[in-house]
Amino acid sequence: MTDNAKNPPAADGLILVLGATGKTGRRLVTRLRDQGRVVRAASRSGETRFDWYDRATWAPVLDGVTALYLVGPPEPGPIADFVDRAAAAGVRRFVVLSARGIEVFGDSFEPSMAEAERVVREAGVDWTVIRPNNFSQNFDEDIFADALREGRLALPVGDVPEPFIDVHDIAEVAAALLTEDGHTGRVYELSGPRALSFAEAVAELAQAWGRPMRFEHITADAYTAELTAAEVPAAPARALADVLAWLTEGHNATPTTGVRDVLGRDPRDFSEYAKTSAPSERPL
C-alpha cells in the first residue's frame, strides 16, 4: 500500500455527514452519493447511529473518516471533545454549518454554532464555515410550517427583507467544500439572490400553494408566549424570538455572493422554491 492509499487526500476518503436526516444533511448525503462519494450518514435515527450526548457512538462513526460535515448539537457541551477525537482519528477536513450573523448573536442565542466555529479554528485541521440566511424550507419543513398550515404566520420580524436560501444550494455548496480544494480557512455567507419581506414570502407561497395564508408582525414577547403555549420550552422559545427580532436591525438583509463564490452560479430564487415545495398536511 502506498502512503497515498494509506492516507488519501481528505477530499477522496470517507465523508461523515452529521445531522444526516436533517434538512441540509439528507440532501448533502444524496448529492455526495450521486457524485460517487463514499458517505457515512449519521444521526440518532439515521443509517449510522450517532448521538452527540452518547460518547459510545463517537468512535464507530469516526472510523476511517477523512472529511466531515458538522451540524452541531442543541447545546455546545460536547463539541470540543468530539472535534478533538475526530482530529485524532484522522479527520482532516471540517465543514461547519453555522448561521449568518453568528459573530453578533452567537454566544447569546446560538452558542452551539459559535462554539463549533471556535473549536474547528483552533483544532489544527482544515476548516470551512458556511453561514446561511434563513432557509426557504423553514416554511414547509421546519419552524414556520405548523403556523402556515393554520393560515397565519406571526413573527417579530416587521418588514425587514430576508434573502432566504434554498437548502438545496446549501447542500451543493457543502458538497463542493467537502470534495474540492481551495476553501480552507474561508467563511462563506450563503443567501438567496433576492431579499423579500416575510409578508411577501408568505404571499408568494399562498399563491404558489393555492391556500389562504397571511403574515402578521408581533412582538418578541408575544411570539415567545405563542411558542411556549405550543409547548416549546421557555429558553429556546426566547432565543428564537430574540434571533428573529434581531433580524429587524437589517444585519442579514442584503444578498451575499457566497453561493456564486463556491459554485460559480447564482443561488435559486425563492419563486423556484415556492413552485417546487408542497406543504404537508401532517403536523411536524
Q: Which residues bind ligand NAP (CB under 6 A)?
A: 19-25, 43-46, 50-53, 71-73, 97, 99, 110, 113, 132, 134-135, 138, 142
CB of 162 to ligand NAP, least distance (A): 10
Run of H or E residues at 226: helix 220-229
CB of 155 to ligand NAP, least distance (A): 12
3 or 193, CB closer to ligand NAP? 193
CB of 10 to ligand NAP, least distance (A): 22
Sheet holding 14-18, edge to edge: 48-49, 39-43, 14-18, 65-70, 93-97, 126-132, 186-190
CB of 30 to ligand NAP, least distance (A): 13
6 or 282, CB closer to ligand NAP? 282
> Which residue has the closest beta carbon to ligand NAP?
22
Write down the number of H helices and E strands in the chain.
14, 11
3-state helix vs strand vs coil in the chain, percent to 5: 45, 15, 40
3-state class (DSSP) for residue 105: helix
22 or 258, CB closer to ligand NAP? 22
CB of 49 to ligand NAP, least distance (A): 9
7 or 104, CB closer to ligand NAP? 104
54 or 181, CB closer to ligand NAP? 54
Using an 8 Å Cβ cutoff, are 41 and 20 in contact? yes
5 or 153, CB closer to ligand NAP? 153
Using an 8 Å Cβ cutoff, are 253 and 192 in contact? no
Using an 8 Å Cβ cutoff, are 179 and 267 in contact? no
CB of 167 to ligand NAP, least distance (A): 7
Determine the Cα–Cα distance for residues 131 and 227; give it in Å rounded to an integer. Answer: 25
13 or 111, CB closer to ligand NAP? 111
Residue 84 cell numbers, joined: 478533538
Residue with the three cell numbers 475526530: 86
Determine the Cα–Cα distance for residues 86 and 64; give it in Å rounded to an integer. Answer: 10
DSSP-derived secondary structure for 68-92 = EEEPPPSSSTTHHHHHHHHHHTT--
CB of 53 to ligand NAP, least distance (A): 5
